[in-house]
Structure 1
Amino acid sequence: MTEDFEVPSPHEKQLEHATEHAQARGDSFASKIAVMTAIMATIGAMLSYQAGSTESEAAMDKNNAAIKKTEASNEWNYYQAKSSRQNLSELAIHIPGLDAAHYTAEAQRYKTEKEEVRKKAEVLEAEAREWDEKSELVLHQHHRWAQAMTAIQIAISLAAITLLTRKEWLKRVAYSAAGLSVVLGSLAWLHL
């Protein structure tokens, strides 16, 4: 039989202890900090989810760009092969004893096929650039979410210290950090 054990950190024990005693004494300062910390933790969870989600999306977009670049590279290699065959056919036109009309037609065929391959390669390169640009935009958004997450973590830590020290100015700093987190999260949400 296995049992799950949760080992709280000393910080969590102290925070829990201070909160319980504050509630028993009717301490509104500690109660307000506890409620605010819970709200900040909830916001932090949402920010963390968004940061992870956008990071995955940016990676997928970058992967799609790499696939398109590979496809474009393959087309350019095919283009080069068609160019080489065209050049050989054009060379064969000038060799005495060979059917010049046949090689003229072959050179023209390779020239036409080569143009189709070039157009396809250019389209694939454009698609790769679009995926790269999309990846960069989403990665910027991810950075905003991560910044917001960092700010809310700082706010939670400051709130815990505030609960222990009971410093009003520290509470304002914690709330300011939480506000900064909300601003950064809003910027991420608005794709700014």
Structure 2
Amino acid sequence: MSGHGFHVHGPHDHELEHAASGGGHGHEAGGMSMTSKIAMCTAVIATFGAIFSYMGGATQANAGLYKNNAAIKKTEASNQWNYFQSKSTKQALAEFARDTATDDKRQGWQVKVSRYEQEKTEIQAAAKKLEEEASRWDAQSEEQMHQHHRWAQATTVLQVSIALAAIALLTRKKWLERAMFGVAAAGFAVGVLAALHI
């Protein structure tokens, strides 16, 4: 009955007053509690983790797109080589016809042989160009997959850091808090490697 000058504290009143005055065991020198510090760092780590995860997804999508482009160019190159083969067959038949033709028709067959030879040269150049393009797309796909793996590694390490933060909050172990910061630093380092295509 506080109206008569007598007040009874509830069991939690003392703890609330103690925490409000800065005497809670979660406070450190400088006024920020371990809980607040870990919560703030976890939010930063989670933000970077989300960015790294997005970048990992984007590079994986690019790798698939580039691999698809390579497959298209390989198919086009194969078509050109088939076309080249058909011209070679026609040229061989024209050469046979030329060699077995009478003198008055031999010149006409020689024109066809020369035309097929010229066409084969152009087709061969186009096929080689398509093969080179396919190789470039394949190389870009491999580069994107490597970068995707780096982003995935960075994301995973940051997730481990967040898990350590949760355990540190529950157990209030200082060494777990330090481990959280160390693992987070490693995750950021791997993210830098991904950004630099290393």
Q: Could you state the TM-score of these two structures normalised by the residue count of structure 2? A: 0.82
Choose 1 or 2 for highest CA Rg: 2
Tell me how far 1:33 sits from its aligned partner.
1.1
Tell me how far 1:191 sits from its aligned partner.
1.1
Q: Does residue 34 of structure 2 align to residue 36 of structure 1? A: no
Secondary structure of 1:191's aligned partner: coil
Partner of 1:138: 144
Partner of 1:162: 168
Cα distance in 2 for partners of 1:59, 1:176 equals 34
Which one of 63, 67, 72 corresponds to residue 77 of structure 2? 72
Q: Does residue 50 of structure 2 align to residue 63 of structure 1? A: no
Cα distance in 2 for partners of 1:154, 1:172 equals 13
Tell me how far 1:94 sits from its aligned partner.
2.4
Aligned-residue Cα RMSD (Å) equals 1.6
Cα distance in 1 for partners of 2:193, 2:152 equals 12
**Which runs of 5 or more residues in structure 1 are unaligned?**
1-22
Q: Structure 1 residues 32-41 or 94-103, which shifts more?
A: 94-103
Partner of 1:176: 182
Residue identity opposite 2:171 in structure 1: T
Q: Could you state the TM-score of these two structures normalised by the residue count of structure 1? A: 0.84
Tell me how far 1:143 sits from its aligned partner.
0.9
> In the TM superposition, what are the counterparts of 1:19-168 in structure 2 within 5 Å?
27=26, 28-96=33-101, 99-168=105-174
Q: What's the CA shift string for 1:158-181, capped at 9, x where partnerless?
A: 111111111111111111111011
Tell me how far 1:69 sits from its aligned partner.
0.7
Cα distance in 2 for partners of 1:96, 1:68 equals 41
Q: What's the CA shift string for 1:24-74, capped at 9, x where partnerless?
A: 868311111111111111111001000001111111111111111111111
Q: Structure 1 residues 24-33 or 106-115, which shifts more?
A: 24-33
Cα distance in 1 for partners of 2:93, 2:177 equals 80
Secondary structure of 2:100's aligned partner: coil
Percent identity of paired positions between Structure 1 and Structure 2:
49
Q: What's the CA shift string for 1:113-137, capped at 9, x where partnerless?
A: 0000000101111111111111111
